[in-house]
Chains A and B, each alone.
Chain A
Amino acid sequence: MSLKRIDLLICCGSGCISAGSLKVKERFLEILADKGISNEVNIIETGCMGPCDYGPVLVVYPEGVFYKSVKPEDVEEIVTEHFLKGRPVQRLMLREEERLVSSQKEIPFYRKQVKVALANCGFINPESLEEYIATGGYEALGTVLTTMNPQQVIDVVNASGLRGRGGGGFPTHIKWQLVHDVESDEKYIICNGDEGDPGAFMDRSILEGDPHRVIEGMMIGAYAIGATKGFFYIRAEYPLAIKRIRNAIKQAKEAGLMGENIFGSDFSFIAEVRTGAGAFVCGEETALIQSIQGERGNPTPKPPYPAVKGLWNKPTVVNNVETFANIPTIFLKGADWFASMGTETSKGTKVFALTGDVNNTGLVEVPMGITLRELIFDVGGGMANGHEFKAVQLGGPSGGCLPREHLDVPVDYETLKERGAMMGSGGVIVMNDQKCMVNVAKFFIGFCVDESCGKCSPCRIGLKHMYDILDRITKGEGKDGDIEELQHLGETISRLSLCGLGQTAPNPVLSTIRYFREEYESHIKDHSCQTKVCTDLFHFMIDKDRCIGCSLCARKCPVSCITGSREEKYTISQTECIKCGNCQDVCPVKAIDRIPGMHPEVLKQIQEQQNISIEE
């Protein structure tokens, strides 16, 4: 007999787990047992609910009350006040302009979102097959297997307009059709879970939060192309995703949803997990295939495409996690429903990982065609700490930076590409006016230099050369012609590189030059970093009017370059200063400022040294 009257959903996505949600769960178990109501409350660990900034978060049903930043010491209050007396604990609920947000549905963060791939994420227990089935799970697979032939399946995907969610945006049905049309004794289907962009965690969250959905999508794809074996390629840095997918595969096998003659049809299918070592390049499909084969993860030239000669030289489809996650819903709700969302060329929804200087960082799913402004300011809640918006980096190291002028462009594959960014897998890094764009470009190029597999020289040598130029510019050693050299190199690398990594790696540099050229110029010509990020291109100054002569800065200076007295106040010797910032941190009256630009004395010293070396 069930006395359950409360469903307590605790977010156990990686974000909330690192914020301590498992400890909160333990505490709930203790307190509920203590109060003797363990049998009235159902504790469910869910996948990522989205608003990671508020973690650990939990939702209490039937009311749908949303609690944020819950600590173990808050648990007793929630149990005694809410669970026993029915009074939600207001201090742990979200407030919006003094108004209490009473349920999860009302949170502004969720308002513009449309959940398809994330429909169950944060709502069901990802380790329960039954809960997935309760939401309509495996019905699409059953219907497909019992009522449709493979070509009809591909036609539905075609009608839906679904395009690959991993970055390239290649139409899914074309990939499927190609492999479907090839005669072969064996075909393979691969789920690409090698998400490696800095700041991206969409695929991880889906794998962790709703693993059965991805498996179901993969199986529908396998039926369409005629594959009997599938691989989940997931990076080893995602242990929870690997665990949950393995668990889901096991459950599906036990329930007869995977194996021989599924749903009484003659379709048989088995999937297994392969873990990647975390090389960014292995997200590229040919490198990924090499890695599954047990070889070094190097890309191979295309053609032949994997659709013709893929895993073990057999026709292979590689789809992204999110692409598969959309498939079951397309079959349940119909291709027309899916195609009714989005723009002319980009249909459906897209999951984004919102990070950077926005208020609501986290996981969001919005219809295609939403503007960047809506995404950042409505869903993301605007800029954090009152700073101004400066740029947004879409698509990680392969994408580009878009400035304020492009905030009103719709998010779809073509529009973003036109503006020099790309959809990418969905990482959205929002940057405020404190960020130096040259430095940002240097960061992303540095990432690609590290991650380049080294097989082809444009990427291996060219990117390093670009990095060196950027490094010089940020150190104040930029020269006339550097910008042109970067553009020339970037375009060459894009054209000549073997795989997607090299072809797209120059994008962050090219897009920041396109939109923030004056910042590059001021770094090179004026030796000045206006945002005061590049250490060599700003200096510290003590304002003598504000200085009280306490000598604290001089005592804390690690290179003893600050001198003075109570009467004369203090001065920094610019040529010796190492810009550690200690003085600014310790000054009790905030009399020390960062001033953009290299100090004239330092500049003079450098020029003199250069002249000497030229004369020599």
Chain B
Amino acid sequence: MKTLADLKKIREKAQEEMKLRDGKVRIKIVVGMGTSGIAMGAREVMKTFLEEISNRNLTDVLVTQTGEKGLSSMEPVVDVIEEGKPKVTYGNMTPEKARRVVVEHIVNGRVVSDYVVATGD
């Protein structure tokens, strides 16, 4: 390392590794991981999200989980929360649907209305 530019490169890479801790994210994907969610395959859905986000190098997206959301008949349920926009809740998710949500909603900003079960808080 010989210049400030070299340092900056290392810093950016390291910050990416630490993004979970800084709380600065554009979009949060919250997977409902209550008992029924897990029974309906929420773990697979979450894993797919994590893989897709990592593959596409989306640095400002955070995948996290929450408990039972009360929509048991529509599990697995996933919330997509974007700063300044109403929350979008997708239901009956599968890994395939998750991939589509990443491409259309997370990357291109178009809500996948086919899967939406609720919007807003």
Contacts and interface: CB of A to CB of B under 8 A. Distances in A.
Interface of A: 1-7, 9, 40, 42, 61-64, 84-87, 123-124, 130-131, 133-134, 136-139, 142-143, 146, 255-257, 261, 263-264
B20 A133 contact: no
Contacts of A255: 1
B100 to A, nearest CB: 20
A347 to B, nearest CB: 28
A3 B1 contact: no
Interface in B81-112: none
A263 B47 CA distance: 42
Contact of B7 (A5, A9, A42, A142): A142
Contact of B65 (A61, A85, A131, A264): A85
B38 interface: yes
Given A1-B51, A86-B64, A263 B3 contact: yes
Contact of B20 (A6, A139, A263): A6
Contact of B2 (A86, A87, A264): A264
A261 B3 CA distance: 11
Interface in B1-40: 1-4, 7, 10-11, 13-15, 17-18, 20-21, 23, 25, 31-35, 38
Given A85-B67, A142-B4, A255-B1, A61 B55 contact: no
B33 A136 contact: no
The 9 closest A-B pairs by CB, nearest first: A86-B65, A134-B14, A130-B14, A7-B20, A87-B67, A86-B66, A86-B33, A256-B1, A142-B4
5 contacts: A6-B20, A40-B50, A42-B20, A86-B67, A263-B1
A261 B2 CA distance: 8
Given A62-B64, A134-B14, A263-B4, A3 B50 contact: yes
B63 interface: yes
A146 B64 CA distance: 42
B25 to A, nearest CB: 8
A131 B18 contact: yes
B24 to A, nearest CB: 10
Contact of B11 (A85, A134, A257): A134
A131 B43 CA distance: 29
Contacts of B10: 130, 133
Contacts of A86: 31-34, 64-67
B14 to A, nearest CB: 4
A124 B22 CA distance: 11
Nearest to B50: A3
Contacts of B31: 86
B20 A5 contact: yes
A142 B66 CA distance: 42
Contacts of B50: 2-5, 40
Given A86-B33, A133-B10, A263-B2, 8 more contacts: A1-B55, A3-B47, A5-B64, A40-B50, A86-B31, A87-B67, A133-B11, A143-B4
Contacts of B62: 62
A131 B38 CA distance: 34
Contacts of A123: 21
A146 B3 CA distance: 9
Contacts of B11: 133-134, 136-137, 139
B54 interface: yes
A256 B17 contact: no
Nearest to B9: A133
Interface residues of B, number: 35
- Residue picked from A62, A136, A257, A263, most chain B C-beta under 10 Å: A62
A264 B5 CA distance: 12
Contact of B21 (A3, A7, A256): A7
Contacts of A62: 20-21, 23, 25, 62, 64
A85 B38 contact: yes
Nearest to A123: B21
Nearest to A257: B1
Given A3-B47, A4-B20, A146 B4 contact: yes
Contacts of A42: 20
Interface string B57-73: 00000111111000000
Contacts of B55: 1
B35 A85 contact: yes
A255 B32 CA distance: 43
B18 A134 contact: yes
A147 to B, nearest CB: 9
Nearest to B16: A134
A5 B62 CA distance: 8
A256 to B, nearest CB: 4
B38 A133 contact: no
Contacts of A40: 50
A7 B22 CA distance: 11
Contact of A85 (B1, B2, B34): B34
B3 A63 contact: no
Nearest to A87: B67
Nearest to B35: A85
- Residue picked from B2, B13, B18, most chain A C-beta under 10 Å: B18
A40 B33 CA distance: 15
A262 to B, nearest CB: 9
Nearest to A88: B67
A61 B20 contact: yes
B54 A2 contact: yes
Contact of A134 (B2, B15, B23, B65): B15
A87 B33 CA distance: 8
Contacts of B4: 139, 142-143, 146, 263
Contacts of B35: 85
A142 B4 CA distance: 6
Contacts of B20: 4-7, 42, 61-62
Nearest to B37: A85
Contacts of A130: 10, 13-14, 17
B29 to A, nearest CB: 10
A441 B20 CA distance: 49
Nearest to A60: B20
Given A84-B33, A264-B2, A138 B7 contact: yes
A402 to B, nearest CB: 39
A143 B55 CA distance: 35
Contacts of A84: 33, 38, 43, 65
Given A3-B54, A62-B62, A139 B7 contact: yes
A146 B67 CA distance: 51
A133 B55 CA distance: 25
A85 B64 contact: no
A134 B16 CA distance: 9
